[in-house]
Structure 1
Amino acid sequence: MRIADKFTELERKKEKALIAYVCAGDPSSEATKEIVHSLVKGGADIVELGLPFSDPVADGPTIQAASTRALEAGMNPDLYFEMAASIKENVPLVCMTYYNLIYKRGTEKFARDCAESGITGIIVPDLPAEESDELHESCKKHGVDLIFLITPVTTETRMKSILEKTSGFVYIVSRLGVTGERVDVAESTKNILGHIHTDVPKAVGFGISNKDQAAELIKAGADAVIVGSAFVNFIASDDNINGRIEELASELKESCRK
């Protein structure tokens, strides 16, 4: 399913989107497929399937640890695409990874592998829009959305160029720093939402972990909330993983329906 189709479907229902992140291969490929099923069963509309990298500079300790566990369990790009192709959930799958892995595989091959395995979008936190032409063209050729990030310090000029290139949705980083759970919603995030004028859906991530934060961001103008570390923490706990993931996804999705 394409990302745009999912947002169109949600618009008809007058709902906003819950985007859930999971690190592929943590703790195993088979477990990841079960986790994705639990996320979707709980209400996730889009699943970010992280392709683990040894130096995930945008991620905090929780997802860094998940990447390490996945790599130690043997996850690599070949296995990643095999696993993605085996996921049969009726939601868009988005690859979140780092440019080193894309560059090594080749932008053309990476975009083609995404399309052939059912991945419909790519997020690359360490790839500036100004340096993305090669990957951008490969993604356009294979019908894969390339999703860019806007941060609290993105200038108006850069924001305009990012919005011209991004498709699927624009990823709004809620605060400076790395991924990880936070106790509140930064006021700067609400200000960013008010300053972004685009037809592309606005998705907010980094630091969202509960239904109250999700509801606050939806009220401020977000079209989607992105949650990762809160789910990954359950995976690390190794205690009723799928039940707890489904329950949290259900709570978060409820905030997206109001």
Structure 2
Amino acid sequence: MKRYDQLFSQLKTNKRGAFFPFMILGDPTPAISLKIIDTLISGGADGLELGIPFSDPLADGPVIQNSNLRAFNSGITVSQCFEMISSIRYKYSQLPIGLLIYANLVFSQGIKNFYSICAKLDIDSVLIADLPLEESKPFVQTASYYNINPIFICPPNPNDNLLRKISIYSRGYIYLLSRTGVTGIEKPANITSEEIINNLHKYTSTPLIQGFGISNVTQAKQIIKTGVDGIIVGSAIIKIIEDYYDQIDSMLKKIEIMSIKFKSVLLK
């Protein structure tokens, strides 16, 4: 749990926001996926949000759906994903690493076994995209037992009761949705309302990270000025993989440039 604390403390001192890229492990192949992660980190990523390929990603739009399909086509398995995370952790011992996944991936491993594996891999957090707060108790308890941060999503239209519950259960950070619907860059991100941010700050000191639809540095700059602590960028990066999956050098260069640009504008 300490990696998030250390990161956000350092960023607060430097008056910067966090840049967390998201990608699906194994897209377009396991080996290239690891090269992309190296590129994102060299470009300034403060932490990683990683997805394990899933056949029915309900919260994701076409870009990330296609990413899952490319990963499956590469022959990736869940056990290979865990092996990849192990090698990433070995190489980047101080980097926060979170999983952003679906509940069936946890159930298929068994809740206790899944979080035990995460603990052995030294994963910092797990966000289960389709897990309602009302059904989260066994997941939260098991995550806490294994010293893993449970992350919850705050929708763009929460009531006060939901804000309080999210503040109680989330550790590491709270994921602010930029808008309703699925992931993707087709619809731009919205600015989270000042009221939501202020109410969350009233209930918790847990950092606030915004995601969904952040496709350019202008949006990122506007979002970070609202008082959130960072951004998650997924589809914009994965679209580069889609467009250049057969031109690896160009793909890596464009991803590096995008990472540097996002990182450079996150000044508070």
- TM-score of the superposed pair, with normalisation by structure 2: 0.92
Q: 1:201-232 deviations in whole A, cap 9, x for unaligned?
A: 00000000111111101101110111000000
- Displacement of 1:184 after TM fit? 4.2
| Aligned partner of 1:157 among 155, 161, 164 | 161
| Aligned partner of 2:237 among 223, 231, 234 | 231
- Displacement of 1:106 after TM fit? 1.0
- Displacement of 1:2 after TM fit? 2.2
| Aligned partner of 2:138 among 108, 127, 134 | 134
Question: Is the 1:62–1:229 Cα contact (8 Å) retained in structure 2?
Answer: yes
Query: What does residue 257 of structure 2 align with?
Result: 247
Q: 1:95-130 deviations in whole A, cap 9, x for unaligned?
A: 111000101101111111112123211111100122
Q: 1:246 to 1:190 in 2, by over 3 A?
A: farther
In 1, the alpha carbon distance for the partners of 2:44 and 2:136 equals: 32
Query: What does residue 19 of structure 1 align with?
Result: 20
Question: Is the 1:174–1:189 Cα contact (8 Å) retained in structure 2?
Answer: no
Query: What does residue 110 of structure 1 align with?
Result: 114
Query: Structure 1: which amino acid aligns with 2:130?
Result: D
Extract structure 1 runs of 4+ deviating beyond 6 A. Answer: none
Query: What does residue 94 of structure 1 align with?
Result: 98
Query: Structure 2: which amino acid aligns with 1:206?
Result: F
Question: Is the 2:149–2:172 Cα contact (8 Å) retained in structure 1?
Answer: yes
- TM-score of the superposed pair, with normalisation by structure 1: 0.95
- Mapped pair 1:222 → 2:225: no
Query: What does residue 208 of structure 2 align with?
Result: 202
Question: Is the 2:215–2:235 Cα contact (8 Å) retained in structure 1?
Answer: yes
Residue identity (%): 35
In 2, the alpha carbon distance for the partners of 1:216 and 1:202 equals: 15
Question: For 2:124, what is the secondary structure of its paired residue?
Answer: strand
Q: 1:129-152 deviations in whole A, cap 9, x for unaligned?
A: 221111111111111111000101
In 2, the alpha carbon distance for the partners of 1:14 and 1:188 equals: 20
Question: Is the 1:42–1:246 Cα contact (8 Å) retained in structure 2?
Answer: yes
Q: 1:53 to 1:189 in 2, by over 3 A?
A: farther
In 2, the alpha carbon distance for the partners of 1:47 and 1:212 equals: 22
| Aligned partner of 1:180 among 175, 180, 184 | 184
Gaps of 5+ in 1: none
- Mapped pair 1:39 → 2:49: no
- Displacement of 1:188 after TM fit? 5.0
Please say which of residues 70-79 and 39-48 is displaced more in the overlay. 70-79
Gaps of 5+ in 2: none
